[in-house]
Every structure is written in C-alpha cells, then in structure tokens.
Chains A and B, each alone.
Chain A
Amino acid sequence: MITLGAHRIQYNETAAALGRRTFRVTADDRRPMPLRAREAFMVRTGNYPEGFGCYLIPEGDAAQLNARHLAVAQVPEDLTYLADGDVIRILPERRSLRVLFRRSSPNNSFLLTERCNNYCLMCSQPPRNVQDGWIADEILDALPLIDPDTSEIGFTGGEPTLLGDRFLELVQACKSYLPRTALHVLSNGRTFADATFARRLSEITHPDLMIGVPIYSDLSHIHDYVVQADGAFDETVRGVMNLKQFGVRVEIRVVLHKQTIPRLPALARFITRNLLFADHVALMGLEMMGFTKANFDDLWIDPADYQAELAAATHTLDRARMNVSIYNSQLCLMDRSIWRFAKRSISDWKQEYMPECNGCAVIDQCAGFFASAKLRYSDHIAPVRAAA
C-alpha cells in the first residue's frame, strides 16, 4: 500500500525544527498530558490545548502559523478527514505529510519496501530498486501509536521479506504492540524457500498471522512468465511448504486475467492435490493499475467471459473442503452458485460503482469496482433485479 498523503503543506518554524516525526492524531482536548507529546491535535474550534507535539490547522487559519511556541502544520481540504486514532508522519523539509494509519478503515496496510524479486505482468505496485530501509524505521515508530483494538493490518510491497531480519523485527513488533491485531503479509513466498527463515518467522509465534502467496499456474513455466522470474515457481512452492511445516498460516492468491484463466481449473485441482494444507484460497479480479496498463493486451479478458472457469475452479476447491473467497468481482457477472464465495473486498477508499449499477438489488453485497476500473471494466455490468 500505498499511503495517503499530501504535498504543499505549510509548516511553521517550530514544526520544521522537529524534522520527520510520527504522531497519533486526536481532536480530544482532554487527552492525558503525558500522551500529548506524541500526538497531533486537530484544531477545529480555535482552541490550542497545551502540550501537544504538533497542531493541525485547516486552510484559511494562516495566522496561527506564526505562533512560535507551537509546532503548527496547515493541512489542505483533502486531509480534513483525519480523525482520532489516525497516525501521520510529518516531513517538514519536503513540505509533505503522510497518513500511515486510519483507525476508521478496516484495511490498513504498510508498504515495507518497493524492492521486489518478481516483476509481475500485472503488478499494481511496480518495483523500484531503491534503498528504502528507512521505511522499516518509520513503521516501527508508528506501530506503538496504533490503536491495539485494531482488528487487522497488512504488510505489503514490493516483496516485504527482502528486508530479511528487519522483516522479522517488524512482525515481532506487531506481536508486541498489537497482540490482538491480525497481521496479513503479502509475499511471493520465495524467501521462505530457506527453511531457516520460515522457522524463525514461526518462532515469533505471532498470535494471528497469515502469509498471502500468489501462485498463478499449475505449470512452472507459466507462473514464471506471469511473475517474470526464472525459478520463481519452485521457490514459491517450497516457501509455502516450509511455512506450513512450521505451522504458519498460508493463503494462496490467484489474480484472474488472460494468462491465468485458461488453466484456472487445472490450478484448482493442483492445489487440492498438492497444497491442500493451505488455509485459504483467494481468487481475485484484476486491478487496472501499475503494469497492467503496459501489458493490457496480454492481460485483459472481460470477466463475463471467464465465469465458467471461475465457477469450475471455485467448486473444485470447495468440494475439497478448502476455504475459498472471490475478491474484486461483480455479482452480476457471476454464476449464482458461487455468489456465496464473493466478498466485499475492495478497500473502502478504493471502492466505486458504475452508472450501470443503478437500481441493483444486491449493490450492498457486491464488491463493486476499483476506482482504476474506469479505464476498463466488463461490458456486461447490469443491475440484478430483486427476486420475484
């Protein structure tokens, strides 16, 4: 993921002197004094209760920027949704601010690195080979500020496990600071082909950990093609086997596009014979982001045209008593026999509906679309009529 943020933030001198800092946001003027140094106060009614680490003011209140004894940042209109419990990072030297965590959102993810050892044709977060070790520090700063009643957070990338020991350190920090919070890690699994690394992860004994690992084909050469890396299939499968050997929960993820659809039923059979111990299988609609546009002709298939394969694969997995979910797919396109597997999966800040959806009886159960779907979505979207 993709953090939300803004540029052209105005910081006063006192704020600028702080340098980069992480704060928890609050609009509550009765916060206990010892906590205030690590919190950013949202000024709404012109009050500036003392002791806070910094103060966030809406645009149009420029006068307060002059206050010397307070660190003040002026936030634009599109960040005024910030609320209690959110976690932000101020970058005064860049005149920017990043939102690391939104307490009101059920889908908070942390991007651990942009580096990756795969190069998927449809990557929604194209890799960059940069030294971004500072990200781990930032997350370690943020974790203690996150509400411990948060139900789930995610780790994504790039490939999070490329951080090696720091990855393990981050998982440990999640266990320490957020012991009641589920942790969902998206990884290509290749690093876990090293059994020692898998074992060390399991030894952390995080109370609610799942690793989401994509496998795109039952055939090694097709998987390697989709992820653009020789030998990836073997490492990924070995990684999954090692994780399960050490008792770590694994989810297998498949993105549905032109290269994965033809053999989707065969992949489902392969999973039931070879990877039946997987804890969950997620079949996911394609996101029109990142590399997808560049490889559009090799990837795009109207979802209405792959429903037979999707239903066959889903039922194969279900008959084998595996847990299956279908994400990012629209109900009107799907065979009714698989509606019960479809989940409302698109992050709230990404989810949209199309004009064709007007009047649909099941709109509240449907995952809807990614905002990016405006570029291309099925020609067959139509409202589902209520049952007679």
Chain B
Amino acid sequence: MSGFTSLLEYEKPLHAGYELLPFRFTQLSGDRYVVTNLAGEFTVLERPELEAFAKTQLSASDPVYSELKSKHFLTDGDSNVAIDLLALKVRTKLAPLANFTGLHIFVTTLRCEHSCPYCQVSRANDDRREFDMTEETASKAVDLVFRSPSPAIKIEFQGGESLLNQDIIEFTVEEVTRRNQQEKRDLAFVIATNLAVLDDRAITFARKHNILMSTSLDGPADLHNRNRPRPGGNSYEKAIQGIHRVRRELGRDRVGALMTTTVASLGRVREIIDEYVRQDFDGIFLRPLSPYGFAIKTKFYQSYDQSRWLEFYFEGLDYIIDLNLAGFPFLEHYAATILRKMLTPFQPGYVDLISPAGIGIGAIVYNYDGDVYASDESRMLAEMGDKTFCLGNVHTHSYDELLLSDNLLEPLEASFAGSAPMCSWCAFEPYCGSDPVFHHATQKDFVGKKPLSAFCSRNMSIFRGLVERMERPGVREMFERWAYMR
C-alpha cells in the first residue's frame, strides 16, 4: 500500500497564481461592489479586494479566494472545467429564446365601463361595436399564433374590458383548442378582466376550458375605487365579489390579481399588502407606473416621482420579508422574478426584463382591428399616436413580414444590452432587460442613455436592495425558495 499525498501538495499549484474568468462589477454602496460572472452568479467584494483580485494579486490563502474559485470568477492549477460549466450555464440562461413567442395577447375590444386615469388604452363608450375584434381578425391571429415554434403557448385576452366581447373569447378559445389537437402545444388561457361584468356565461365557459382570470386589485376599497372609477363607484366591491366567485366556482388558484401604483397608493403599501393577504392571495406584484397612454395625457406620470416609488416598493418588500420571517409565506413577484435570475440557473419568462428584449420574441399583441404590436406597451404607445412598434396587420401581412419587420428587428438589435454603453459593463446586466419601447417613449431612442433612464435607475436600485437584504439572516433562504418556485 503506497502512501498518501498531503493537501499541501495539491495546494502548491495555487501559489503559482490564477487566471481571471470574465466578470463585471458595479458599486453596491460605499466601498462595496457587486461582482457577477457571465452566468449571473454574484459575490460582494470590498474595493481593495476587488482591485487585488482583478490585478491577479490575490493570494490563495485570502478568505475570498475560495469563494471566487467556487463561483467561477477565477481558475487555477490545471483545472479548466470552469469553462465548460460556464458555457453550459450561459446556454441554460439563453436557451428559452429559441422557443420564441410564448405569450399571445388578443385585444377583444376597447370598450370598458371603468374610466381609470392611468389606463393606457383609449376609452370607448359601451355601445361602439366598431372597437370589437371580429371573427375574421381572430381567425387570422390564431393562424399566426401557431406559426410560433414555442412548445408552450399562453393566450391572454385583454381590452378595454375583455369580457365585454365574450363572443370573440369563445370563438378564439374554441378555435385554438381545435387546432391544438394537431399541434399538441402546452396551452394556457387567461382572461384579464375587472370582474365587474363577470356573469354565468363567462364562468361556465372558463370552467369548461380551464381558463385563468387575472384582475386588478389596487388596494383597500377607498384606494381601489379612487384609482378605478366606474358608474356606481363600486369597482372594489365588484372585484372582491368576482374574486370569491371565481375561487368558489373555478378553484382557489384560478384567479390572480395585479395592482397598479398611483400617487394615491404611495404611503399606503402596507395597507395594500394587507388587502392582498386578507383576500387570500399568496403574493403581490408591486408594479411601477408605466409612462404610457392616459397616464401621460392626464399628467399622471409626471407627478409620480421615481424615488417615492422606490420608497414605496422597499417598504412593501420589507413588510413582506417580515411576514415571511414570522412564518407567513407571501411572495413579491417582481423580486421573485429577479431572484430567479440571480439565484438559479433558470431564465424566467418575464418579457419586460430580458435582453434581447421581449418584444416579438417573448410576446406579441393582436389588436381588435388586426394591427399587430411587438408588446402591450407598443400598443399603448400607438394609442398615443406613435406607431413605431406596430409590425403590420393580420389581414395584410404574412407571419414572415410581421416577425422580420424592421419595426421589430431594428429595436431588438439596437437595444441589445450586451453592446449598449453602461449595460455592457454593468454587473447587473444578467438580471436586467433592455426596454426599447420605454426608452423610445421617454428618450426617443431604442437604447436610451441609461444614466437618464428611469428603467435603469429603478432596476439598479432594486438589484442593490435585494443583494443588501440577502445579508440579513434568513432572507437569503427565503429568497431562494421564491426563486425556485415555478
């Protein structure tokens, strides 16, 4: 039996130095920096450590050395399997791109009986049928849906108030289901509705076809009704009634809710979260206000300050974290989406936070009149008179003409974060997106000057805030649970 070689022998090559693997760094706060690799794995270093590391002057006995080696920021000795592993991780993050368009939005009508000031769609009176989608249009759109190679297809009905045109919802669902017998995709249907007009017909149909409902709940009654006026002033009561009806008749997890933040919401985030807890939701999506549609027309957006929204967001997030630490599981969905990018090998399918941008590649919108848009925001922009992101019309353009349109390809290419100034060297780029529609709307430029971009500053604040919070005991584990949820 021969002897054994000591650990010292195996450590010898480490003292000969190491090689840097590609990485980026961005200030976290003060002298601390977030450092990320190509796959989005991160660590936090003090500036002197960062500098020593970057200049290949770090010693193998330094406390951070092992972490940097483990997380693929450096290689040493004869080991180079890090290259293969990094390549696989990058590929895993990018692979979903090849599936192409998974989310197909059908705007069934522009009619709506609410008159929400932040609405990004032009209002139309209740009886104007010219703003309804026709069967010809729906049929052409369904043809285009199945041209997408994606194995999973989600059809989402929006409006106006989508349920005001149940005929076309039923027509589309039946048509898609029939064709799917051949296509065999993994199908999901969602109806976005304020639930005020929910009736027996809609419930029965939803039950038959396993349709999910997505509604708006902005917070407690007074806030919700103030944000979302309707004749009778009872939007909240109708929404709650609708939520409970859907749960009772279709199932507990068949209804989701989204909130929209307005000036009136600021300062009331705990109440809003409490409302969601009260209504038995397992999480909330704390959304920022987007600068489109009526929001700009009614000067709503301008009164809305970025830093006030961030205060709102973090107060809400911290409240939710405390709820979790006290034993009550409750999710914040925007954080969960970002955490999935930060903490897991996966890429969430969230079209608003991805580079290359999710326009066309992730989602596509078929408007009531057959116009095809690269995203929901693209449609909102068109309602303001800017049709930059209109790709064509289902009646006059083929699939190739739509998806290879310059209106799609130019912004995709121009906005690719990997080559944009600031994004290309930003440590947070693996977690972020490129939002060409937002940057066009606010700066008239697909790329945008990121130092002037509210999209950039908002996301960077959130990334930093999440990294800092993970240093609190118990929060990292909670965030991992959020990140790995499907």
Q: Mark A13-44, 1 if CB is under 8 A from B, else 0.
A: 00000000000000000000000000000000
Cross-chain contact B70 with A234 (CB below 8 angstroms) = no
Answer yes or no: A224 CB below 8 A from chain B CBs. yes
Chain A: minimal CB distance from B433 (Å): 22
Chain B: minimal CB distance from A192 (Å): 13
Cross-chain contact A225 with B7 (CB below 8 angstroms) = yes
Which residues in chain B, 72-112, are within 8 Å of chain A measured between CB atoms? 76-81, 84-85, 88-89
- CB neighbours (8 Å) of B10 from chain A are 221-222, 224-225, 230
Q: Mark A151-185, 1 if CB is under 8 A from B, else 0.
A: 00000000000000000000000000000000000
- CB neighbours (8 Å) of B80 from chain A are 234
Chain B: minimal CB distance from A126 (Å): 7
16 contacts between A and B (CB under 8 A): A220-B81, A221-B10, A221-B11, A224-B10, A225-B7, A231-B79, A233-B79, A234-B80, A237-B81, A263-B66, A266-B67, A272-B344, A319-B477, A319-B480, A319-B481, A320-B484
Answer yes or no: A353 CB below 8 A from chain B CBs. no
Main SS class of interface, A: helix
Given contacts A218-B70, A228-B5, A233-B81, 5 further A-B contacts (CB under 8 A): A220-B79, A225-B5, A230-B10, A274-B345, A295-B4
> Known interface pairs A219-B70, A225-B10, A274-B89. Does A316 touch B81 (Cβ–Cβ under 8 Å)?
no
- CB neighbours (8 Å) of A225 from chain B are 5-7, 9-10
| A219→B10 CA distance, assembly (Å) | 11
| A218→B14 CA distance, assembly (Å) | 15
> Known interface pairs A276-B345, A319-B484. Does A121 touch B4 (Cβ–Cβ under 8 Å)?
yes
| A121→B481 CA distance, assembly (Å) | 36
B side interface size, CB within 8 A: 34
| A316→B88 CA distance, assembly (Å) | 21
Chain A: minimal CB distance from B74 (Å): 11
| A237→B67 CA distance, assembly (Å) | 19
Chain A: minimal CB distance from B306 (Å): 33
Answer yes or no: A241 CB below 8 A from chain B CBs. yes
Cross-chain contact A241 with B89 (CB below 8 angstroms) = no
Q: Which of A220, A230, A291, A294 has the most CB of B within 10 A?
A: A220
Answer yes or no: A273 CB below 8 A from chain B CBs. yes
Answer yes or no: A238 CB below 8 A from chain B CBs. yes
> Known interface pairs A219-B69, A319-B481. Does A234 touch B4 (Cβ–Cβ under 8 Å)?
no
Chain A: minimal CB distance from B120 (Å): 37
Chain B: minimal CB distance from A365 (Å): 26
Chain B: minimal CB distance from A287 (Å): 17
Instruction: Give the interface of A toward B (CB within 8 A).
Output: 119, 121, 126, 218-222, 224-225, 228, 230-231, 233-234, 237-238, 241, 259, 263, 266, 269-270, 272-274, 276, 291, 294-295, 315-316, 319-321
- CB neighbours (8 Å) of A320 from chain B are 344, 480, 484
Answer yes or no: B41 CB below 8 A from chain A CBs. yes
Answer yes or no: B326 CB below 8 A from chain A CBs. no
Answer yes or no: B13 CB below 8 A from chain A CBs. yes
> Known interface pairs A219-B70, A225-B10, A263-B66. Does A238 touch B81 (Cβ–Cβ under 8 Å)?
yes
Q: Return the 10 tightest CB-CB contacts between A and B, nearest first.
A: A220-B79, A225-B10, A234-B81, A218-B70, A319-B480, A221-B10, A237-B81, A225-B7, A274-B85, A224-B10
| A274→B71 CA distance, assembly (Å) | 10
Chain B: minimal CB distance from A322 (Å): 10
| A219→B74 CA distance, assembly (Å) | 11
- CB neighbours (8 Å) of B481 from chain A are 319
Cross-chain contact A234 with B79 (CB below 8 angstroms) = yes
- CB neighbours (8 Å) of A233 from chain B are 79, 81
Cross-chain contact A231 with B78 (CB below 8 angstroms) = yes
- CB neighbours (8 Å) of B477 from chain A are 315, 319
- CB neighbours (8 Å) of A237 from chain B are 81, 84-85
| A219→B65 CA distance, assembly (Å) | 11
Chain B: minimal CB distance from A358 (Å): 37
Q: Which of A234, A238, A266 has the most CB of B within 10 A?
A: A234
- CB neighbours (8 Å) of A259 from chain B are 7
Chain B: minimal CB distance from A217 (Å): 9
| A231→B9 CA distance, assembly (Å) | 13
Chain A: minimal CB distance from B255 (Å): 26
Cross-chain contact A222 with B7 (CB below 8 angstroms) = yes
Q: Which of A263, A273, A316 makes the CB contact (< 8 A) with B345?
A: A273
| A241→B87 CA distance, assembly (Å) | 12
- CB neighbours (8 Å) of A231 from chain B are 78-79
Chain A: minimal CB distance from B69 (Å): 6
Cross-chain contact A316 with B89 (CB below 8 angstroms) = no
Cross-chain contact B84 with A228 (CB below 8 angstroms) = no
| A362→B276 CA distance, assembly (Å) | 43
Which residues in chain B, 442-483, are within 8 Å of chain A measured between CB atoms? 477, 480-481
Chain B: minimal CB distance from A174 (Å): 30
Cross-chain contact B4 with A228 (CB below 8 angstroms) = yes
Q: Which of B13, B69, B88, B484 makes the CB contact (< 8 A) with A241?
A: B88
Cross-chain contact B41 with A273 (CB below 8 angstroms) = yes
Closest chain B residue to A295, Cβ basis: B4
| A225→B79 CA distance, assembly (Å) | 13
- CB neighbours (8 Å) of A224 from chain B are 10
| A233→B1 CA distance, assembly (Å) | 23
Closest chain A residue to B69, Cβ basis: A219
Cross-chain contact A230 with B81 (CB below 8 angstroms) = no
Cross-chain contact B480 with A234 (CB below 8 angstroms) = no
Cross-chain contact B7 with A220 (CB below 8 angstroms) = no
Cross-chain contact B84 with A126 (CB below 8 angstroms) = no
Closest chain A residue to B66, Cβ basis: A219
Q: Mark B1-31, 1 if CB is under 8 A from A, else 0.
A: 1101111011101100000000000000000
| A320→B77 CA distance, assembly (Å) | 30
Closest chain A residue to B481, Cβ basis: A319
Chain B: minimal CB distance from A64 (Å): 44
- CB neighbours (8 Å) of A321 from chain B are 484
- CB neighbours (8 Å) of A295 from chain B are 4
Cross-chain contact B70 with A270 (CB below 8 angstroms) = yes
Closest chain A residue to B9, Cβ basis: A225
| A233→B77 CA distance, assembly (Å) | 12
| A315→B477 CA distance, assembly (Å) | 9
Cross-chain contact B77 with A220 (CB below 8 angstroms) = yes
- CB neighbours (8 Å) of A291 from chain B are 4
